[in-house]
A and B are shown apart, each in its own frame.
Chain A
C-alpha cells in the first residue's frame, strides 16, 4: 500500500499532494457562461403593489395615477421643499417609478440628487409614512448595479437604516432589513461597513418565535448576504454571532427560510479550513445532510453546496461530513435529473475521494461506485468532468485493492470513452488516471491484463490518436502511456521500438530469461 502511494508521488503526481487534490469551489474567477440560475438572488427590488392599508395616507387609485404623472422636476422640487405632504407624495411617486415592473429609471432618479434628502426622511420618526416610502425607494435604488448601491451608501443610508431596524413599525423595520440586505450583498466592503456599524445585534433581535414568516424570510435573506462573499470573508466574531441564529432558522418549517439559511451556511463554508471548522463545530452537519435529501430543489441546492464546501476541508472535517451521512445521500443526488445537481454532487464526491484510503473505503462501502460509473457514462458533460475528477482522486489515494474494486465496478469503459471529450484538461486527467491504474496493475503483476482491457474498450486507439493532440501536455501524457505499456506487442517484447535515428531503441530493461 505504502509503496504504491510512494510510486504515485514519485512518478506521476510529483509535487501534487492530497491537499492540492482537494479543489476549492473557484478555479477561475472569469466566467464565460450566463450567470448561474441556481444561485441565490443577490439583490432584490420590491416591486409588489402594497396593500392599501400600508399606505393609509393616500386615497384610491386615481391619486396613484396622478402621482405617477408627477414630472421629475416636480419631484425634486417637492422633495427639497418644506411641505411634508408634498414630500410624501413625491417620495411615493419616486418609489412607484422605481417599483415599475420593467426597466426602472434608477440612473435618472439618482441624477436628480435626491438621495441625501431621502436618507434624511428615514430619520423622520414622526412621519412613519414618509420613512416607509423613503426606505422603499432607497431599497429599490440599492437593488441595482454596484454603482446604484454606492449612490445609496454614499448618501449616508447605512446608519439611518440600521437605526430603523428598531423602528416600532414592523413594516418599516422590514423594509430596512431589505435595504440593508441589498447593501450587504453588493460587496465585502459594504458588508463589513454594516458589520462595523453593529448591524448584527438589532437584526438578530428581530428574530423571535413570534416574527411573522414573511418578515423572517427577509431577515434570513439579509443575514445570508452578511455571510456572503470572499476576499475577505466576513469577520470571525460576526460569523460567530450569526451562526447560532442560523442554526435555529434551519429548524424552521418554512422552506424559504431554510433555503436562505442554507445559503448562508454555504457562504460561511466557502473558504479556508478555519472557517469550515467554525461551522463544523456547531454540529450542524447532520441537519445539512438531512436537508440535502430534501425533495425541494431550493433547499437541496444550498445544502449540497454547504456540504460540498465542508469536504474541501481537512480530512477530519471531511470525516465529520461522512459521519453525518453525506455518503448515504449522494447516490441519489448523483442520479438526480438536474445536471447542476449531478455536477455539484460529483464535485463533492471528488473531494471526499481525495482523502485517505479509509475514507475511500467508505465511498466503496456506501455504494457510491455504481452511481459514479453511471454518471461517468451517461451524465451531462459538466457532471462527467467532475466524475472524472472523482476517479482521478480515487486512484491517487486508494489502496491497490480499492483501485481493483473501482475497475471491477466498470469504470474503465466510460472513462476511456471520455478520452474523446472536447476538453483538454479532462483528457489530461484521464490520462493521469490511466497511469495510476497501470501503477496499481503493475504492483499486482496484472499490467498485461489491463493493457488488453484498455485495448478492448477502444482506449488504446483513442490514446494513440491523442498523440496527435495539439495540446503539448496531452500529447506527451499519451505518448508516455503508449511507450510505457503498449509499445511491445507481447509480454516477451519481441517488437522493437524505432529510435530517433531510425534504429531500434535499445532500452535496457531487466528481464530474466528461461528458455
Chain B
C-alpha cells in the first residue's frame, strides 16, 4: 500500500464502517466486511504508517481516535516476532514507527496519547533497549520542554515501560536494562522532581496548574518505586536526601485547592500521599540500613497524617497504606523505642486505631443492601485493604512488644464505649459494635476457618465478656432489633468457639436457632454458619463435641427454622443455610427420620426450583449432599424406604436429564448410584428403561459426567449384569464402546478400566465371549502406541482380575491366539518388570492372586519355553509382597495430568455422602495372598514332585527364597 491520498481515503471509509452500529455493515454476511478488509490489508507495507498519518491529520476526531485504537491493536497483535513464524511487520515500517511515535504521542490530545503510550510500551517490551536505543534520550529531552502535557505523556509511557521491574526476577539482562535506564533517566527525573515541586509552590493558587503538576508528581513517585524496587541504586542512595526530604514535605502538605468534594473517589493529593507511603515502606523493608536516619520522621508524618485524615471512603487506600506502614515498623526491635512511650501508645490507640474501627455509614449500607459482599468481607477475610483490617493489624503489631499496655489502654476504651451504649442503646449501638470489634482484634492472635481463634490474648477474659455483653443481646426478645449487634454477637460465638466453655455453647445453641428467623440476611446467615461450625467441633475420642443426644430437644425447631430461613427474602439459595442443613442431618442421624417426609418434599421442591437456573454451585452441592444423607440415614434403618425416595426424586431427575441441566447431571448420576446400590434384589425395571440412554455418546463427551456415569454403570453391572445379558444383550457393544472411548484417552483410561473390570467380574462369561479378543487387542494397541505408567498399572490389575475370573490357562490361550508367544512377551516385558508399580491394597491382592494362578495353574508355564519365566515371575511376586512400591515416573510423563492412582475401584468421591463402599473381588476367595501362594505351590509340587524344588534351589535368589520359606511355614505346608 502506498502512502497515497487515495489509500488514506479508502482506509478512512473502512474505519468509519467499523464504527457503524449496524452489524450488517460492520460485518455483513457475504460481502467483504470492514473489519475483514482491515485485517486483510494489515500485512501490507505502510499500513501502520497510514494509520499514524490518519490519527495525526484526519479532519474528523472520531477517525483519529478510531485510527489510534486500531493502531494499538495492530501493534499488540503483530509487533512481537515469534520464533519460526514470519515477521508480520516489515522492517522499514518498524523503523518509521519508532522514529515517529514518541513526538506523535506527545503532540496528540489525551485520548489518543493514551493509546499511543500503550503502543509504545508494547513496542518497548520487545525492542527496548537494544533495538530502540534512542528512546530514552528522546523521552528525557522532553523534560526540558516545560510543557507538562508533554512531560506527563513521557512519564506515563516511562511508567508503563518500567513497572515490570517491580515483579520480574533479578537477571543480568534485566539489571543491564535498569542500569541503562538509571544512567539516562535518574538524574533528569530528580531534576524534574525538584522543578515540579518548586512550580507547585509558585502556582500554589492556580488550581488547574496544580492538578497537572500533581499528576506529574504521582507519576514521578511511581517511577521512583519501580526504579528502586530491585535494589537500591547508587544514584538514589547518593540523592536520598533530596528525595526523602521532598517526599516527607509532600506528606505533610495540604492545599485546599486540591481537596475534592467527591466522597468516594480518591483525589490527587490522596493518591500521591498513598504512593509516598508505599515508597517509604519499600525503603523501610528493603534498605533499612540506609533509610534508618529518615524513618522516624516518616513515622511521625504518617501518624500525623492519620490523625488528621477524615472518615470518607476516598481516604481508605491512603489510610490503610499508612496504617500498614506503621504496623510493619512497630514490629521491628530497633524501632520499638519510637512507640514505647505511654503517651505515644495511648495516642496511637485513641487517634489512629479506635477511629478506624468504627462502623461507618458505608459499612451500614453494605450490611443492609449488599449483604453477600458484606459477609464475604467480614467472614471470609477478604478485607485486606479495609481500614478495620489495617487497624486490626496495627493492634497485633503493637501487641508484639506492648501487649500489656495496649490491652490496658483498650480495656479502658471498651468500658467507656459499653457505658455509652448502655446509656442509650438505640442511639449509641455503634459504640458497642466498635467495642466488640476491639475486643476481637485484641484477643485474637491466630485464627483459622476450621477452628476459629486458636490462640488468644490471655489478658482478655473472653468468657466473661461473652456472658456479660454478648449473650444478653442474643437473649433479647426481638431477633430483629439492632441487627448489627446481633451479627457481632453471633460472630463472637463463632470465632471464639474454642475459647468459650462447652456449657456456654450449649446455652447459645437455642439462641442461634432462634436467630435463624431474623429478617436481616447477615444475621440469619451468621446464625446458620455458627451452628454449622459448632456442629463440626470435635470433642474427646474424635467424636463431635456436641452430641445428637444434647441436640434432641431442639431437632424439630432446628429443622423448621433452617428450612424456613430458606424462604426469607434474599436467602432462597443461601449456601450457609444449606450447609447447616447438611451438617445438622449428619450430626442428628436417625433422629431426623420422623421429619424425612417433609424434609425430602422441601428438598425436591427446592431442587426443582433451582434447576431452572442453577447459579449457586456451593448451595447446589450441599443440597445434593443433604439428599444423599436423607437417603442413607433412612435406608440404613429401613432398606425398603428406597422406593419412596425413588418415587419422590425420579420425577425431578427425569426433568433434569430431559432439560439437560448440565450442572446437575453428575449429581443425579451419583444419587442414582446410591439408590441403586441400596437395592438388595434384582435391578428394578425403572432403572433398566434408562440404561440405553446412559450409553449416549453426548453424555460421555462431557468430562464432568465421566466419573459419576462410570460409577452408575458399575452399579448397574453389580446389581443387574444378568438382566442386561438377557434383556439388553444388544446394548453390550454400546457398553464396550464406552469402554473404548475412555481407554483412548490418557486422562480417562483408568475410568475405562473400572468399567471393564466390572464387566469381567459381573457379566455372565458367555455374554461377553465374542468380544474378549477384541478387548485385548484394543488394550495391546494402546500399550504399543502410548503407554503410560497409569495405563500399565490399570492394565496389570485388569489382566490379573481376568486370570482370577477365567483362569490362568484362559489368559494364556487368549493372548497366544492373538499372536504367537504373546503371553511370554507380556510376562517378560510388562508383568515382571512393572508389577512393582501397582499400588493400593486391593489392587496388589488381585495381582498376587492372579500371578499365583499363572505360576501354579498354567501347564505351559511348566513345560514350554515359558518355563524360563517361572522363576523371574515368582521373584517379581515376592517383590510385590515385600519391596516398597516403585513410585518413580519416567521423565517424559511428568507433565501428564495424573489425576488418580488408578486401581480397581471407582474412587470417585465428589458427593461425600454418596460414597461407595470398598469392594474386594477376591475377598472371599483369598484372605492372605502369601499363604495362598504357599498353598498353591504346595499343590503344584504334589502334582509334579521335585520340579518346583529344583527350580527354586537353582535359580531363586537367596533373599526371596527366605521370604518364601516364611510363607510356607506360616501356611504349614512344605514342597515335595
Partner-binding segment picked from A59-67, A115-123, A265-273, A465-473: A465-473
Q: Which residues of A contact B918 (CB under 8 A)?
A: 512-513
**B610 → chain A, closest Cβ, in Å?**
14
Task: Tell whether, in the assembled complex, residue B662 and residue A456 are in contact, meaning their CB atoms are under 8 Å apart.
Answer: no
- Residue from A32, A496, A501, A515 in contact with B178 in the complex, judged by beta carbons closer than 8 Å: A32
B396 to A, closest residue via Cβ: A458
Q: Which residues of A contact B912 (CB under 8 A)?
A: 492-494, 513
A493 to B, closest residue via Cβ: B912
> B818 within 8 Å of A by Cβ?
no
With contacts A10-B894, A14-B894, A422-B285 known, is A513 near B915, CB below 8 A? yes
Partner-binding segment picked from B166-174, B244-252, B552-560: B166-174
With contacts A32-B179, A461-B381, A461-B384 known, is A510 near B907, CB below 8 A? yes
> A197 within 8 Å of B by Cβ?
no
- Residue from B167, B289, B617 in contact with A470 in the complex, judged by beta carbons closer than 8 Å: B167
> B39 within 8 Å of A by Cβ?
no
Q: Which residues of A contact B621 (CB under 8 A)?
A: 496, 504
- Residue from B287, B455, B706 in contact with A381 in the complex, judged by beta carbons closer than 8 Å: B287
Task: Tell whether, in the assembled complex, residue B910 and residue A496 are in contact, meaning their CB atoms are under 8 Å apart.
Answer: yes
Q: Name 25 interchain pairs, CB-CB below 8 A, sorted by A.
A: A3-B887, A27-B170, A28-B172, A31-B175, A32-B230, A32-B233, A33-B231, A33-B233, A33-B234, A380-B288, A456-B454, A465-B384, A471-B169, A493-B912, A496-B617, A496-B910, A498-B617, A506-B910, A508-B707, A508-B751, A510-B900, A510-B903, A513-B915, A513-B918, A515-B632
Task: Tell whether, in the assembled complex, residue A3 and residue B884 are in contact, meaning their CB atoms are under 8 Å apart.
Answer: yes
Q: Which residues of B contact A102 (CB under 8 A)?
A: none
Chain B 438-470 interface mask (CB, 8 Å, partner A; 1/0): 000000001111110011000000000000000
Task: Tell whether, in the assembled complex, residue A506 and residue B666 are in contact, meaning their CB atoms are under 8 Å apart.
Answer: yes
Q: Which of A268-315 contact B (CB under 8 A)?
A: none
> A47 within 8 Å of B by Cβ?
no
A34 to B182, CA, bound (A): 13
B617 to A, closest residue via Cβ: A498
> A56 within 8 Å of B by Cβ?
no
A31 to B888, CA, bound (A): 43
Query: Considering residues A496, A499, A504, A508, which has the most beta carbons from chain B within 10 angstroms of its beta carbon?
Result: A508
Q: Which of B538-577 contact A (CB under 8 A)?
A: none
Task: Tell whether, in the assembled complex, residue B663 and residue A503 are in contact, meaning their CB atoms are under 8 Å apart.
Answer: yes
A3 to B884, CA, bound (A): 10
> B28 within 8 Å of A by Cβ?
no
Task: Tell whether, in the assembled complex, residue A32 and residue B449 are in contact, meaning their CB atoms are under 8 Å apart.
Answer: no
A29 to B170, CA, bound (A): 11
Kindly state the interface size class of chain B when it binds its partner: 35 or more
**A27 → chain B, closest Cβ, in Å?**
7
Task: Tell whether, in the assembled complex, residue B447 and residue A508 are in contact, meaning their CB atoms are under 8 Å apart.
Answer: no
Task: Tell whether, in the assembled complex, residue A506 and residue B707 are in contact, meaning their CB atoms are under 8 Å apart.
Answer: yes
Q: Which of A128-154 contact B (CB under 8 A)?
A: none
A505 to B, closest residue via Cβ: B704
- Residue from A34, A339, A425 in contact with B170 in the complex, judged by beta carbons closer than 8 Å: A425
B665 to A, closest residue via Cβ: A503
Task: Tell whether, in the assembled complex, residue B172 and residue A29 are in contact, meaning their CB atoms are under 8 Å apart.
Answer: yes
Task: Tell whether, in the assembled complex, residue B233 and residue A513 are in contact, meaning their CB atoms are under 8 Å apart.
Answer: no
A493 to B706, CA, bound (A): 20
A381 to B332, CA, bound (A): 12
> A408 within 8 Å of B by Cβ?
no
A408 to B903, CA, bound (A): 37
- Residue from B168, B381, B899, B913 in contact with A508 in the complex, judged by beta carbons closer than 8 Å: B899
Task: Tell whether, in the assembled complex, residue A10 and residue B172 are in contact, meaning their CB atoms are under 8 Å apart.
Answer: no
Q: Which residues of A contact B625 (CB under 8 A)?
A: 494
Chain A 432-472 interface mask (CB, 8 Å, partner B; 1/0): 00000000000000000000100111000100010001110
> B820 within 8 Å of A by Cβ?
no
Task: Tell whether, in the assembled complex, residue A32 and residue B232 are in contact, meaning their CB atoms are under 8 Å apart.
Answer: yes
**B279 → chain A, closest Cβ, in Å?**
11
B229 to A, closest residue via Cβ: A422
Q: Which residues of B contact A51 (CB under 8 A)?
A: none
> A424 within 8 Å of B by Cβ?
yes
Kindly state the interface size class of chain A when it binds its partner: 35 or more
Q: Which residues of A contact B454 (CB under 8 A)?
A: 452, 456
- Residue from B172, B286, B704 in contact with A422 in the complex, judged by beta carbons closer than 8 Å: B286
Seed contacts A381-B285, A513-B912; 17 additional CB < 8 Å A-B pairs: A10-B889, A28-B170, A28-B175, A30-B175, A30-B179, A33-B232, A34-B238, A424-B169, A469-B167, A473-B169, A494-B912, A498-B617, A503-B662, A506-B708, A511-B907, A511-B909, A513-B918
Q: Which residues of B contact A490 (CB under 8 A)?
A: 450, 536
**A463 → chain B, closest Cβ, in Å?**
13
> B901 within 8 Å of A by Cβ?
yes
Task: Tell whether, in the assembled complex, residue A509 and residue B900 are in contact, meaning their CB atoms are under 8 Å apart.
Answer: yes
Q: Which residues of B contact A33 (CB under 8 A)?
A: 231-234, 237
Chain A 474-515 interface mask (CB, 8 Å, partner B; 1/0): 100000000000000110111110110111101111111101
> A421 within 8 Å of B by Cβ?
yes
A502 to B666, CA, bound (A): 13
**A24 → chain B, closest Cβ, in Å?**
14
Task: Tell whether, in the assembled complex, residue A504 and residue B167 are in contact, meaning their CB atoms are under 8 Å apart.
Answer: no
Task: Tell whether, in the assembled complex, residue B179 and residue A513 are in contact, meaning their CB atoms are under 8 Å apart.
Answer: no
A515 to B910, CA, bound (A): 15
**A499 → chain B, closest Cβ, in Å?**
7
A456 to B, closest residue via Cβ: B446
Q: Which residues of A contact B282 (CB under 8 A)?
A: 422
A452 to B, closest residue via Cβ: B448
**B408 → chain A, closest Cβ, in Å?**
25
> A423 within 8 Å of B by Cβ?
yes
Number of A-B contacts (CB under 8 A): 157
> B840 within 8 Å of A by Cβ?
yes
- Residue from A31, A380, A513 in contact with B916 in the complex, judged by beta carbons closer than 8 Å: A513
Chain A 396-428 interface mask (CB, 8 Å, partner B; 1/0): 000000000000000000000000011111001
Q: Which residues of A contact B840 (CB under 8 A)?
A: 510
Task: Tell whether, in the assembled complex, residue A32 and residue B175 are in contact, meaning their CB atoms are under 8 Å apart.
Answer: yes
Q: Which residues of B contact A494 (CB under 8 A)?
A: 582, 622, 625, 912
> A6 within 8 Å of B by Cβ?
yes
Q: Which residues of B contact A10 (CB under 8 A)?
A: 888-889, 894
> B144 within 8 Å of A by Cβ?
no
B447 to A, closest residue via Cβ: A456
Task: Tell whether, in the assembled complex, residue A32 and residue B536 are in contact, meaning their CB atoms are under 8 Å apart.
Answer: no
**B283 → chain A, closest Cβ, in Å?**
10
**B241 → chain A, closest Cβ, in Å?**
15
A465 to B900, CA, bound (A): 29
A279 to B178, CA, bound (A): 38
A493 to B285, CA, bound (A): 39
Q: Which residues of B contact A515 (CB under 8 A)?
A: 632, 913, 915
Q: Which residues of B contact A32 (CB under 8 A)?
A: 175, 178-179, 182, 230-234
B231 to A, closest residue via Cβ: A32
Q: Which residues of B contact A503 (CB under 8 A)?
A: 617, 662-663, 666, 704
Q: Which residues of B contact A499 (CB under 8 A)?
A: 704
Chain B 314-344 interface mask (CB, 8 Å, partner A; 1/0): 0000000000000000001100000000000
**B910 → chain A, closest Cβ, in Å?**
6
**B407 → chain A, closest Cβ, in Å?**
20
A489 to B229, CA, bound (A): 37
Q: Which residues of A contact B704 (CB under 8 A)?
A: 499, 501, 503-504, 506
> B415 within 8 Å of A by Cβ?
no
- Residue from A6, A14, A456, A512 in contact with B448 in the complex, judged by beta carbons closer than 8 Å: A456
- Residue from B176, B449, B888, B913 in contact with A489 in the complex, judged by beta carbons closer than 8 Å: B449
Chain B 398-437 interface mask (CB, 8 Å, partner A; 1/0): 0000000000000000000000000000000000000000
B666 to A, closest residue via Cβ: A506
> B77 within 8 Å of A by Cβ?
no
**B637 → chain A, closest Cβ, in Å?**
14
Q: Which residues of A contact B900 (CB under 8 A)?
A: 508-510
With contacts A30-B179, A471-B167, A506-B703 known, is A456 near B234, CB below 8 A? no
B897 to A, closest residue via Cβ: A507
Q: Which residues of B contact A474 (CB under 8 A)?
A: 167
Q: Which of B862-911 contact A (CB under 8 A)?
A: 884, 887-889, 894, 899-901, 903, 907-910
